[in-house]
Amino acid sequence: MSVPVLASVEEDAAKIVDLFYDLQFEQAVTAAKVLTEKYPGYPAGVFYQSVAYYQRYLLEDPPQRQTFDTFLGLSQAALAKAIALMPSNPAISHYYQGAALGFQARAYVSQKKYAAAIPKARQGATHLKKALMLDPQLEDANLGLGMYYYFLDRVPVAAKPFAYLFVGIKGDRQRGLALLERVAEKGHAASMEAKSILAAIYASEKEKRWDESLLLYKSLMELYPHNPRYRLKLIYVMQREGFWDTAVEVMDAEGDWIKNLDPLVQSRAHELARYRTAENLLFAGRYEEALGALERLESMHPAGLIGDWTALRKGNYWDAIGQSDKAKKVYETIKDKKAASLVEKFIQAPFPNGPRDVMPNRWPISTVPE
């Protein structure tokens, strides 16, 4: 396949990526179908259609089996197209085989089906290495390899030999970060994915590179205003930095941005926005405003994790105004392990003297951590 055609495909693919990152899934799928019609023998269109469904699956709360099955079917179709391309363009064939298998592995990990994920990851890594050996200019192939190197370095020490045995790559934090940063700077369709992953890595407990994650999340929030995850993650980083008053303003929990969200994420994003606002107002010492935010949140009847953390902050409010008996009654209802551990600390040092830990950054909040 000639370079001009490849360049044209990657340009169209980057536009599709922008659509599904902004949660415009129907438009993304339509654009991917057009790309398939334009280049019927090329795997890009079907591949990015599959990734659009993968991104939707990650946002669903709870995740829907039908969405996963659609993703997997399209991913397998992309894989078949990539294999068929081997005689004419082996580098691109290996790249899309590696990319499709890598996303399948990530999807199975999100379901905690590690036995299904491991062989996909191993095969995917092998294909990406071969693609780069044949064409070192395929910068996007470094995305998957960077993720493998970085996240395999994070597994427990005792498990690292097994991780290498199963995946065929030895974890290397520095190499993984370098490759992800390279794709963020020089990549094509994978550039935004690299930036999103880097922002999450920088904002993790392992890295705590808050300033860098702050810049990335601010940029992503502005680029993709219909994706509430970036705004919420930006607020989380601000909280970890102690920028509580600024976080309240940026969160804008009752702003028009909420109204413009896809119904898929609108209600849960509004719950989280109100929760973060209350948390920041409490930490900033703006107690009556915090009470108002908590009452607005309670009107939505939050349950599960967010319900427990709402109760924690309501207890904090009662402690802050000197009504410890009311605080203790609220604290007694909390079941979440992390929130309950904070209760024990607040019993010893009532809010606002207790810890300033914030609710974990999760989406979907009912299932697994980011």
The 10s digit of each residue's pLDDT in 283-316 is 999 999 999 999 999 999 999 899 999 999 999 9
Residues 363, 232 contacting (CB under 8 angstroms): yes
- Closest by CA position to 23, among listed 248, 328, 260: 260
How far is 51 from 43, CA to CA, in rounded Å? Answer: 12
pTM recorded for the entire structure: 0.90
Taking the CA atoms of 262, 266, 268 and 270 in sequence, report the sign of the dihedral they define: positive
What end-to-end distance do the CA atoms of the chain give, in Å? Answer: 38
Question: What Å distances lie between residue 334 and 33, 327, 331, 352, CA to CA?
Answer: 48, 12, 6, 19
How far is 71 from 283, CA to CA, in rounded Å? Answer: 42
pLDDT for position 3: 41
How far is 316 from 212, CA to CA, in rounded Å? Answer: 31
DSSP string covering 284-352, please? TT-HHHHHHHHHHHHTT---HHHHHHHHHHHHHHHHHTT-HHHHHHHHTT---HHHHHHHHHHHHS-TT
Distance of CA 111 to the CA centre of its chain: 15
- Closest by CA position to 144, among listed 169, 166, 125: 125
pLDDT for position 98: 97
Give the domains, in start order, of the chain with CATH numbers: 1-136 (1.25.40.10), 139-202 (no CATH), 223-348 (1.25.40.10)
Residues 250, 224 contacting (CB under 8 angstroms): no
Please, which residues have CB within 8 angstroms of residue 115's CB and are 6 or more apart in sequence?
A: none
pLDDT for position 91: 96
In one letter, which amino acid is 11? E
Distance of CA 164 to the CA centre of its chain: 25
Distance of CA 108 to the CA centre of its chain: 15
pLDDT for position 370: 38
Residue 328, both tokens: 């203790």
Residue the block writes with tokens 């607005």: 296
pLDDT in single tens digits along all 370 residues of the chain: 344 356 678 889 999 999 999 999 999 999 999 999 999 999 999 999 999 999 999 888 888 999 999 999 999 999 999 999 999 999 999 999 999 999 999 999 888 898 899 899 999 999 999 999 999 999 999 999 999 999 888 765 554 554 555 566 788 999 999 999 999 999 999 999 999 999 999 999 899 999 999 999 999 999 999 999 999 999 999 999 999 999 999 999 999 999 999 999 999 999 999 999 999 999 999 999 999 999 999 999 999 899 999 999 999 999 999 999 999 999 999 999 999 999 999 999 999 999 999 999 877 654 433 3
pLDDT for position 292: 97
Question: E strand or H helix at 125, and its extent?
Answer: helix 114-134
How far is 304 from 310, CA to CA, in rounded Å? Answer: 10
Residue 331, both tokens: 């604290």
Residues in the chain, how many? 370
Preceding peptide of 43 cis, ω within 30°: no
Residues 216, 199 contacting (CB under 8 angstroms): yes
- Closest by CA position to 109, among listed 160, 146, 139, 147: 147
pLDDT for position 8: 78
pLDDT for position 364: 61
The pLDDT tens digits for 328-350 are 999 999 999 999 999 999 999 99
